[in-house]
């Protein structure tokens, strides 16, 4: 049964949605953010309405988003606003069908001014935007997480979300499973960092099947971001291979064919050839 705290938070979010249930002229996409293109009845999602109420500024700008706007394929738009104690400490809204119902959910980094970051999943049903699931807040302010990939990483038919908790401090890769409307922590692994403090670039990871077993793997930097590890989560966690870099990874890390393209902080770029075992 949901806790009173969860029910209270749900009511707050629903109230915020109802207040902003129609398009408003002042809603503006925040600078340096990326719009997510949708599927089905969702055209796009973008982060809106910059605020300075949480002065962490981990992504290099002196603002964060206080809400998001959903544009539907039929032209309707709705905005969603967080309560004053929270922000979206993110620049990359992620649209993924997490539960296999054919409708995309929204995944964002949501931070509390006193409790730090969490990962939040929203249902985007027209007329009833709702917080579906959320990881616990890290537990103190100015502590952040950065998603690394969303896929079925262990072949069980459920979608997992890989993230790096405290990429500047603890540098812990975590795997969370979304199932039955909940996020459950599956495993944790030390020694990974997918963000440089103060950088606007969050895209330092790529999801693909490296070892040809039909289950996707994850490429992401080591703790110093001067090497790329390709990791698998089955049958147990394993670093499949490592590519050393000539300098710190700047990103975005991308995959083209059988090559990883890694832009570096020194302005150069390395092309890493993926060789099957």
Residue 198 in this model has a pLDDT that exceeds 90? yes
Average pLDDT, the chain: 91
Query: By percentage, how much of the chain surpasses pLDDT 70?
Result: 90
Query: By percentage, how much of the chain surpasses pLDDT 90?
Result: 87
Under a CB-based contact definition with an 8 Å cutoff, are residues 256 and 271 in contact?
no
d(CA 76, CA 48): 16
Residue 226 in this model has a pLDDT that exceeds 50? yes
Q: Which residue has the higher pLDDT, 4 or 223?
A: 223
Residue 23 in this model has a pLDDT that exceeds 70? no
Determine how many CB atoms are found less than 10 A away from the CB of residue 234.
Answer: 14
Residue 13 in this model has a pLDDT that exceeds 50? no
Residue 15 in this model has a pLDDT that exceeds 80? no
Give me the mean pLDDT over the 235-250 stretch: 98
Give me the mean pLDDT over the 214-233 stretch: 98
- pLDDT tens column, 69-91: 999 999 999 999 999 999 999 99
Sign of the alpha-carbon torsion through 192, 254, 216, 104: positive
pLDDT at 228: 98
**Cα→Cα distances 47→31, 203, 253, 258, Å:** 9, 17, 22, 33
d(CA 33, CA 133): 23
d(CA 34, CA 65): 12
- pLDDT tens column, 99-120: 999 999 999 999 999 999 999 9
Give me the mean pLDDT over the 49-59 stretch: 97
Residue 24 in this model has a pLDDT that exceeds 80? no
Q: Which residue has the higher pLDDT, 3 or 177?
A: 177
Determine how many CB atoms are found less than 10 A away from the CB of residue 67.
Answer: 20
pLDDT at 127: 78
Q: Would you mind telling me the total number of residues written for the chain in this entry?
A: 277
Can you tell me which residue has the tokens 């949501």? 110
The model's confidence at residue 126, banded by pLDDT at 50, 70 and 90, is: confident
> Global pTM?
0.90
Can you tell me which residue has the tokens 């001067």? 226
d(CA 119, CA 7): 18
Under a CB-based contact definition with an 8 Å cutoff, are residues 119 and 134 in contact?
yes
Sign of the alpha-carbon torsion through 96, 254, 247, 265: negative
Mention every residue, 6+ apart, whose C-beta is less than 8 A from residue 18. none
pLDDT at 177: 97
pLDDT at 277: 59
């Amino acid at each position: 049964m949901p806790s009173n705290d969860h029910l209270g938070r749900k009511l707050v979010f629903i109230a915020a949605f109802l207040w902003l249930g129609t398009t408003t002229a002042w809603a503006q996409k925040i600078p340096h953010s990326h719009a997510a293109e949708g599927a089905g009845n969702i055209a796009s999602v973008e982060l809106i309405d910059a605020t300075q109420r949480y002065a962490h500024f981990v992504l290099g700008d002196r603002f964060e988003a206080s809400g998001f706007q959903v544009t539907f394929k039929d032209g309707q738009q709705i905005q969603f606003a967080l309560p004053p104690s929270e922000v979206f400490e993110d620049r990359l809204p992620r649209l993924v069908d997490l539960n296999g119902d054919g409708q995309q959910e929204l995944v964002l980094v949501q931070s509390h001014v006193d409790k730090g970051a969490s990962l939040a999943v929203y249902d985007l049903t027209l007329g009833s935007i709702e917080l579906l699931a959320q990881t616990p807040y890290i537990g103190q302010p100015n502590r952040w997480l950065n998603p690394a990939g969303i896929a079925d990483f262990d072949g069980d038919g459920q979608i997992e979300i890989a993230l790096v908790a405290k990429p500047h401090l603890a540098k812990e890769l975590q795997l969370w499973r979304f199932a039955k409307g909940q996020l459950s922590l599956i495993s944790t692994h030390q020694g990974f960092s997918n963000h440089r403090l103060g950088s606007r670039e969050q895209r330092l990871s790529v999801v693909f099947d490296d070892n040809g077993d039909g289950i996707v793997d994850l490429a992401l930097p080591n703790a110093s971001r001067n090497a790329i590890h390709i990791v698998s989560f089955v049958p147990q966690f394993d670093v499949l291979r490592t590519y050393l870099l000539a300098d710190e990874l700047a990103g975005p890390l991308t995959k083209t064919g059988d090559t990883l393209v890694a832009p570096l902080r020194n302005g150069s770029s390395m092309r890493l050839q993926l060789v099957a075992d």
